Structure 1
Amino acid sequence: MAQSSVRITMRYLVKALVKYGASDMHLKSGRPPLYRVNGKLIPAKMPEFSSELVKDVVWDVLPPCLISEFESRRQTDFSFVMRDLGRFRCNLYFQQGQISAAIRLIPFEAPDLETLGLPAMVTELALKTKGLLLVTGATGCGKSTTLAGMIEHINRNCHVHILTIENPIEFVYSDKKALISQREVGSDVTDINQAIYAAMRQDPDIIVIGELRDYKTIQAALTAAETGHLVMSTLHTNDAKSTIDRIIDVFPSESKNQVRIQLASTLLAVVAQQLVLRADKKSRVPACEILVRSPAVEDCIRQNELSRIIDLMAASNDYYHMQTMNMSLERLVSLEIITQEEALAASDSPGDLKLKFSGMVREP
C-alpha cells in the first residue's frame, strides 16, 4: 500500500470514530474495524482487514523509536495526533501471532469538570492541597477524562505547579493560572518510578501519575503523598474497598501493617466511577462512589476492617459528602437521568437498590 493511502485509511478510520461518537476503535485481522459506542462494540460497514492492512495502518502512526520495543516486548503504548480530529492513545499488541490495536480518542481540549455530570464533591476534592487522590473504575469508565477535568479545573483556578508523569501523554494542557509540566515515559524519562522520585525535586505542588500499575509505582506514590504533595492517579479497581485492598495486597506480608498506617494517613479520597446509559439512550453519565478520609475511615484502614467501609460511606454523606454507588444510582434515577433498569444492572447490590425503588427499607 502506498504511503499516502495508508495515511488516508487511518484518517478515515479515526474520522469515523469521531463522527459516530465512539470512544474506542479495535483493529484485528479477519474483522472489520469495531467501534465502541455507548459501551457496545459496533462493527464498521467495511470489509474485513487483513493482517497486512492492520500492520500498514498502525505502522504509519507508530513512532519509529518504538518499533524495536514492540517487536521485543510484543506490545507497546503510544499516542498520535490527527489534525482537526484529536489525539489518540494506541495500545498495540500481538494476539495469535498477529498485530492488533486498541485506539482511544483523547479530545484536544481537556474537559470542563462542571460539564461531566460529576458530584460537586469531585470539584471540591480537586482543590485539596495534599494526600493521595485516586480515580478508579473499569477500563473505559472515564477515569482519564475525570482526572483531566480535575487537572484543568486546578489549572483555571490555582497558581500551582502541576507535574504529570504519563505513559503515554493523553490530554495536553495549556498553562492558565497553573504551570503544567508533562513528562512522557519513553521520550522524557526512561522509568516512571524514577520520574516520581525526581518530581519531588522539581518543586511540584501536584504530582499526577497516569496509572498506578505495580508495587514500585504505588510505593513511590505513597512516598510522594507523605511528603505533603497532592498526588493524583488512577487504578483499575471497581470500588473504594477493592482499591484499598489492591494497594495493600501488592506489598509483601511483612510490610502490610506499615502500609496500612501509611495509607490511612495519606489517602485523601477514592472516586470510583462507572458510566451508565442515560434514559434517552444517546450517551452515558457517570455514577460515582466517593470515599473521603475521616477519622473513622482511617481507623478502618489501620485496623484492616474494610468491611465497614460501605456503611461508613452511607452514613457520612451530610458532613463528609461521601456516597455509595447505590446512593449515586438512586439519585440519577430520581432525577430521571437514568432508568431503574440501568441502575439495577449497574449496582453491586441490586437487591438493596430495588428495595429503595419500591419504597421499602431493609431491616437491620
Structure 2
Amino acid sequence: MNPLIALEAPFAMHEAKLELDELLTMLVELGGSDLHITAGIAPCMRINGTLAPLAGRNKLAPVDTETLIRSVISEHLWERFDKTQELDTAYAIPGVSRFRVNVYRQRGAVGAAFRAIPHKIRSLDELGLPRSVEGFAHLTRGLVLVTGPTGSGKSTTLAALLDVANQTRSSHIVTIEDPIEYLHSHSRSVVNQREVGSDTADFAIALKHVLRQDPDIILVGELRDLETTSVAVTAAETGHLVLATLHTQSAAQTVDRLIDIYPPHQQTQIRAQLANCLQGVVTQALAPRKDGMGRSIVCEIMVATAAIRNLIREGKVHQIPSFLQSSADAGMLSFDQHLAQRFAEQLVSKATALELAHDPNEFKRLARL
C-alpha cells in the first residue's frame, strides 16, 4: 500500500480538528453562544442572540461538514450516530471552554450545533438573577423547575444553584444529564455526574436507581416524558430536592404542562402531588441589551406559598400571574415586572421589551408608558 494513502485520512482529520478548534476558540473570544456547522453555508455563529455566517469563510460542502465534525467524535460515538442519526455529546478545548454538541443529518449531509459552556460556573449575582432565587438551593426537599425557551440559560442557572448547594451544604448531589455540561468538583458536597448514553441508558432508568444512591439533591437535565416526570415527582415527595428544566415560558404554563403530561384520569392526583412537592419555578429569557453589549436576563419567580399550593390543588392555575405580582414579600416576581425593571435600568429597549412581554399592556402600565 502506498504509505501516502494510509496517512491521508488521519492527516485530514488532524487538519479538520485544528480548524474546528480555531472556530470554537473564536466563538468563545467573541462572546458567542453557538457555532453551527452545516452544508451549503459558511460556519455560523450566534453572538448576542443573532446568528450569522462568518465573513470571509467559504461555504461548506457535505464532505467538509462531515470531516470537521467527525474529527472531534470518537469512533464508538460515530458508530452510534450512524445507527440512530442523532447524537448528543460534549467536547472540550483545554483552557478555552467545554461545548455541548448535537450532531444530526439534514438532506443526507451531517450537521452539528456546538453550544459553549464556560469552565467557570458563574454566580447567581453575576447572572443577574434576583436574590430570592438562591433560597431554592438551601431547600431540603421538593421540586424546583428552571424553565424557558432553548438558549435562555436554564443550564447556567441550574449550575449556579447547584454550586451554591455544593459550597454551603454537606450533601450528596447526583446529576443526570444529556450530555454533562458544567463540571462540578467536590466541595462541601459529594458530586456525582451521570451522562445519558455513556453512564446510564436514559433519564427514567437513572432516576429509578438514583434513590438507592443516598442522594440529597438530584438534578435532572430535562423532564421529557411521563415516566421521567413521575419518578422525579416521587423523588421530590420522598424527601429529596429535585432540580429540573422544562421548555415553558411562564410559571402558570409550567404547572399546566406538568399536569398535561399525565393522562386525564391521573390529573387530579398529580395536582395534589404538585401542590405538596412543588417548591418553586424560575422562568427566564435572555433579552438583547440596549447598548449592544450582550444580553440581559429577565425572569419570573414563583414560590410555592400556601396560596399558590391551594390554586394548584383546586385547578385555578390561571390565577397564578396575579398572585406573582402581589407577592413580592414572598420573593415572587412576574415576568413583566422584571422586564419593566430592566427597561427602567436602561438595559432593554422599549421595542425589545414590548416584543418579549407576556402582556404588552401590563408591561406598559408597569413601565409607565
- Normalising by the smaller structure, the TM-score range is over 0.9
Corresponding residue for residue 42 of structure 1: 52
Q: 1:290·1:322 contact (CA, 8 Å) conserved in 2?
A: yes
Counterpart check, 1:133 vs 2:138:
no
Q: How does 1:182-201 map to 2 (within 5 A)?
A: 182-201=193-212
Residues 237-278 of structure 1: CA deviation (Å, up to 9, x unaligned): 111111111111111111111111111111110000001122
Please tell me whether the aligned partners of residues 326 and 353 of structure 1 are also in contact (alpha carbons under 8 angstroms).
yes
Distance 1:201 1:38 in 2: 43
Q: Secondary structure at the match of 2:281?
A: strand
Q: Distance in 1 between matches of 2:253 and 2:237?
A: 22
User: Separation in 1 of the partners of 2:288 and 2:40?
Assistant: 30
Alignment partner, residue 331 of structure 1? 341
Residues 132 and 231 in structure 1, CA contact (< 8 A), matched pair in contact too: yes
Matches within 5 A, 1:145-224: 145-224=156-235
Alignment partners' CA distance in 2, 1:358 and 1:286: 21
Instruction: Kindly indicate whether residue 281 of structure 2 is the aligned counterpart of residue 270 of structure 1.
Output: yes
Any idea what SS the aligned residue of 1:208 has? strand
Query: What secondary structure sits across from 1:170 in the alignment?
Result: coil
CA–CA distance in structure 1, aligned partners of residues 327 and 75 of structure 2: 52
Kindly indicate whether residue 314 of structure 2 is the aligned counterpart of residue 303 of structure 1: yes
CA contact (8 A) 2:343 2:367 kept: no
Instruction: Give the corresponding residue for 1:32.
Output: 42
Q: Which amino acid aligns with 2:115?
A: R
Name the amino acid aligned to 1:27. Answer: I
How big is the shift at 1:191? 2.5
Aligned residue for 2:107? 96
* Per-residue deviation, residues 69-91 of structure 1 (Å, max 9, x unmatched): 32222111000111221111111
Choose which of 289, 293, 302 in structure 1 pairs with 2:304: 293
Match in the other structure for 1:227: 238
2:144 touches 2:280 (CA, 8 Å); kept in 1? yes
- State the Cα distance separating 1:337 from its structure 2 match: 2.6
Moved more, 183-192 or 129-138: 183-192
Distance, in Å, in 1 between the alignment partners of 2:101 and 2:216 is 30
Of residues 45, 50, 53, the one that matches 2:64 is 53
Q: Secondary structure at the match of 2:58?
A: coil
TM-score by length of 1: 0.95
Report SS of the residue matched to 1:168: coil
Note if contact 1:109-1:173 (Cα within 8 Å) is conserved in structure 2.
Answer: no
Do the aligned partners of 2:337 and 2:366 also contact (CA within 8 Å) in 1? no
Q: Which AA in structure 1 matches 2:19?
A: T
Q: How does 1:97-116 map to 2 (within 5 A)?
A: 97-116=108-127
CA shift for structure 1 position 13: 1.2
More displaced stretch, 68-77 vs 167-176? 68-77
Residues of 2 paired with 1:245 and 1:52: CA distance?
A: 45
Residue in 2 that maps onto 1:250 = 261
Contact 2:13 2:68 in 1 (8 A): no
Q: Determine helix, strand or coil for the equivalent of 1:3.
A: helix
Give the AA of the match of 1:294: T
Partner Cα separation in structure 2 for residue 297 and residue 357 of structure 1: 26
Tell me the TM-score normalised to structure 2 length. Answer: 0.94
For the residue of structure 2 that corresponds to 1:21, the secondary structure is coil
Which residue matches 1:362?
none
Letter in 2 for 1:55: E
CA distance in 2, matches of 1:139, 1:3: 31
Q: Post-superposition shift, 1:336?
A: 2.6
Greater alpha carbon shift after TM alignment, 308-317 vs 340-349 = 340-349
Measure the CA separation in 1 of the matches of 2:322 and 2:365. Answer: 17
Given the alignment of the two structures, is residue 348 of structure 1 paired with residue 347 of structure 2, yes or no?
no
Q: CA RMSD in A?
A: 1.3
